[in-house]
Amino acid sequence: MTKMTLGSYPHMLGFEQLERVLERTAKGGNEGYPPFNIEQTSDFSYRITLAVAGFADEDLSITVEDRQLVIRGRQTDDSAGRVFLHRGIAARQFQRSFVLADGVEVGEALMENGLLHVDLTRAKPETVVQTIAIKKG
């Protein structure tokens, strides 16, 4: 069976970049940690919320790399000299990536009660009507 690509459809011109983004996202396999929500807060804004209990502000980093929002967390292991009878809370690291559409900008990030909120805004699209002149040949 042949894999169909967006480029194989004659009316889908210029969508090769979208296809690459979809493939990169599908390969991302983010194991489910930490859990997150994505909510639409208005017609042109969104909020991503990650459950990052146990992480301090300095343990987290938020970057935008190639139209991709990347949130990383790294906890330091402070268990030296401590004896655990049970250790269910492990110091671990994570990386979560979210692909951003063109025109989506990252706003502020807020840490509140073990939840990291990252606000996004999307520019309101302009309606553009273009008339193309037909030359006589």
**pLDDT 10s digit of each residue in the chain, 137 long?**
566 666 667 666 676 767 776 676 666 555 688 999 999 999 999 999 999 988 999 999 999 998 899 999 998 777 788 888 988 776 789 999 998 988 899 999 999 999 999 999 998 878 889 999 999 97
Q: Is residue 77 part of a domain?
A: yes
Structural domains of the chain, count: 1
Report pLDDT for 30: 52
Tell me which residue range forms the domain holding 70: 32-122
Q: Is residue 103 part of a domain?
A: yes
Report pLDDT for 29: 55
Report pLDDT for 112: 95
Instruction: Find where tokens 């300095």 sit.
Output: 58
Report pLDDT for 6: 62
